[in-house]
Structure 1
Amino acid sequence: MEVLLFVTGLTVAFVGTLAGSGGLIGMPMMLLLGIPVHTSIATAKFSNIISSLSSFVYLLKDRKITMKECLPIVPLAVAGGLAGAFLSDKIDPEVLEWMAFFFLLGALLLSVLKRNKTEKSAEDHKLPFGKLFLISSYDGLFGPGQATLLMYTYIRHGFSYLKTVALTRFQTFISCLGAFFMYLINGHVDWMTAVPFALGALIGAQLSVRLASKISIKQAGILLNIITLILIIQVGFRLFL
């Protein structure tokens, strides 16, 4: 099972870094292997801490982003991650899947019906703190689809694709760090599951972040729409059938 978890973690991080929603690949696989839902979420949080930090550090060293641009995200990502994880034991897993379905459907419709804002200089960006807090809360609560929602949000507010990837990785790292702390103290962490999954995610993240520099903002939008449509069909199939 460890090899399967490793390969799944690699795939999840590779897809998740480029277009988000890797969790909608990893979560069904872990549940299929008989891993309890809260342990699966905790495993995803741990792997995201490792993979997101590694890909963010790569982009930071490559000067695609600065810490000054990222620091305003920290308080809302921490608060959102903690709040979501705190609520996770109180909400039925099927309700969380319905949330993922409607969030992704809404993001896809917005992308198709409205044009993204043109790219701006760093000084002109205004972060949508309310939206970012809600997405971080959802990340702590459940997670699948979270990175796609973040990428839609950043791209729609005029960030370049590489900055969007960097900010999404950074916010994911912070919110997952806060959420994982809650899952750990609530006894939902199984290290035999979390470690091989995280090792695969680390490699997947490093592979994908190197590919990201070759993707244009137009290609990124197409990739996001395709991935989101596939995931909506996948989640909808489980919910309606």
Structure 2
Amino acid sequence: MAIFINEWFSADGLMLFSIGVIAAMIGVMFGAAGFVLLPAMLLVGVPIHATVAVNKFATGVSSFTNVLTLIFKIDISLKEMVPYMIMACFGGLTGAFLATRLSEQIMNIVACFILIFSFFIVLKSNKEIGMDVEGCHEQKPSFITPFFISMYDGGFGPGSALMNITYFLKKQGNYKKAVELTRFVMFSSCMSAFIFYYLFGIVDWRIAIPVTVGSIVGSHLGMKMVQYIQVKWLQITLPAIFLLLIAQVVRDLLF
């Protein structure tokens, strides 16, 4: 335990903490924590499956702290969210199970197709982004889409929060509410996937703890900043982030 503590407060530990803060802030506001977290973890030499496991733990714990805050503020009905959380749990477990049986190359190919498909959905929905609830007709989100997004999240992850935000935004018409709903779904999919990875024996706590502490700090900073995000930022930033994610996955496939 003393060795772990020394490593957490070392230069590497502080670097991992900083990565967690930045990734979580971007993840909460724009749904692309994986764009920062995964490349950064791979860059410091963490294997991809261990990187995904750490990402699930960090995102799951930070999302849980957001969920508690939202419940105590009574911003969202827990009863309303339970069915989505259950479907997300099954999706996360399914994705983690498949990921442990696929090679890194196959994972990247699947991620590339999903991200390209989602990019065109974002472009199609771009005019709706940022509309207030009063300006559009609310629709009840289905359980099927969050399940498949959670399955992707459990197995890989980059862009999964953005997919959820885009989906809930299209149905609800309010960006702040879409972010809040996404935190519930992300908590469920990430923690169920993490439990599978933990039982599979590929979690490194020396990496997971500093990244997770940073993610908790970053997620709460991001939640406070969401209300100040302007519509024009979203219409430019969301498609741009998807393009960067696609470019990253294609680069991993080709090089």
- TM-score normalised according to structure 1 size: 0.91
Partner Cα separation in structure 2 for residue 22 and residue 50 of structure 1: 14
- What runs of 5+ residues in structure 1 fail to find an aligned partner? none
Aligned to 2:3: none
Aligned partner (choices 107, 112, 119) of residue 108 of structure 1: 119
- Could you say what secondary structure the match of 2:21 adopts? helix
- Could you say what secondary structure the match of 1:157 adopts? helix
For each residue in 1:171-194, what CA deviation from the matched residue of structure 2 results, as whole angstroms up to 9, or x when unmatched? 010111111111111101111110
Partner Cα separation in structure 2 for residue 233 and residue 193 of structure 1: 26
Deviates more, 1:81-90 or 1:58-67: 58-67
CA drift at 1:10 = 0.8
The structure with the larger Rg is 2
Partner Cα separation in structure 2 for residue 142 and residue 8 of structure 1: 18
Aligned to 1:98: 109
Identical counterparts, % of pairs? 34
Aligned to 1:166: 180
Aligned to 2:6: none
CA drift at 1:220 = 3.0
Partner Cα separation in structure 1 for residue 13 and residue 85 of structure 2: 33
Aligned to 2:35: 24
Aligned partner (choices 94, 99, 104) of residue 83 of structure 1: 94
Residue 225 and residue 15 in structure 1: after superposition, are their counterparts in 2 closer, same or farther (change >3 A)? same
Aligned to 1:4: 15
Partner Cα separation in structure 2 for residue 65 and residue 215 of structure 1: 20
For each residue in 1:131-181, what CA deviation from the matched residue of structure 2 results, as whole angstroms up to 9, or x when unmatched? 111111111111111111111111122341111111111101011111111
Aligned to 1:40: 51
CA drift at 1:25 = 1.6
Aligned to 2:251: 237
CA drift at 1:47 = 0.3
Partner Cα separation in structure 2 for residue 98 and residue 151 of structure 1: 23
Contact 2:58–2:208, Cα closer than 8 Å, also in 1: yes
- Could you say what secondary structure the match of 2:128 adopts? coil
Equivalent positions of 1:1-241 (< 5 A) are: 1-114=12-125, 115-116=127-128, 120=133, 124-217=138-231, 219-241=233-255
Partner Cα separation in structure 2 for residue 162 and residue 95 of structure 1: 35
Contact 2:138–2:173, Cα closer than 8 Å, also in 1: no
For each residue in 1:10-47, what CA deviation from the matched residue of structure 2 results, as whole angstroms up to 9, or x when unmatched? 11101011111211221122122121221111111110
CA drift at 1:63 = 4.2
Aligned to 2:8: none
Partner Cα separation in structure 2 for residue 146 and residue 19 of structure 1: 11
Partner Cα separation in structure 2 for residue 216 and residue 71 of structure 1: 30
- Could you say what secondary structure the match of 2:76 adopts? coil
Partner Cα separation in structure 2 for residue 33 and residue 113 of structure 1: 37
- What runs of 5+ residues in structure 2 fail to find an aligned partner? 1-11
Residue 223 and residue 69 in structure 1: after superposition, are their counterparts in 2 closer, same or farther (change >3 A)? farther
Residue 216 and residue 59 in structure 1: after superposition, are their counterparts in 2 closer, same or farther (change >3 A)? farther
- TM-score normalised according to structure 2 size: 0.86
CA drift at 1:124 = 4.7
CA RMSD of aligned residues (A): 2.1
Contact 1:100–1:145, Cα closer than 8 Å, also in 2: no
